[in-house]
Amino acid sequence: MHSEKPILTAKTALWAYEGEEHDFISTRTFGFWLYLLSDALIFAGLFASYAVMDNPMSAFGHPLADGLLSASRGLEQTFIVLGSVFAVSIGSLGLKSGNKGLVLGGLAVGGLLGALFIWFGVSDMLAMAAAGNGPLESGYLSCLYTLLITHALHMGFGLLWILAMFIHIARWGLDAMNTARLLCLRMFWQFQASVWVIVYVYVYLFGGAH
């Protein structure tokens, strides 16, 4: 029978397997990179679908992005999500020095900004639906809502992850398991911010949003 024994210390996190030692944190983060690649394919498909439907014929008389979305409001959301990523990234610097307060502070600020970003996005979608431009009104609107909602759901999952990490680190500190999870969270959060930047440029700007 194979034996596995994690040696969980923040600075020397090694995974002992069949007499060989492996970097526990690097193994975890590499595996998470593979997940992000699969997630990127999902968004690539959504962007491709949106590109096909982004025309007046697919809108069936309903406005396109230039009549639905505000580029200035989208820019505000962009600054908010980038600020959230910056806060989480600054907080993760506390991993090297073992500064738990810095890590928790970064997570708290990043989480609050992330929640504000989601609130902006949800309120915009509700306003569009209330104006008679719901997701079932046309193929274009279906693609637009699917893209925006999928990203919002990812951000919502990230917020739950931030909350869980805040509780875990506050209770158990910066052990190797929490360190690996926090590094994966930072990658996930940065990836979602990158996706939003593409949404802003491609939908809000190229779409001619007012």
* Residues ≥6 apart with Cβ < 8 Å to 1: none
How confident is the model at residue 11, as a pLDDT? 44
Which domains does the chain show, CATH number per domain?
34-205 (1.20.120.80)
Tokens coding 125: 């979608």
pLDDT tens, position by position, 157-204: 999 999 999 999 999 998 888 988 999 999 999 999 999 999 999 999
Average pLDDT estimate for 122-150: 95
Rg (CA), the chain: 20
**What percent of the chain has a predicted confidence (pLDDT) above 70?**
87
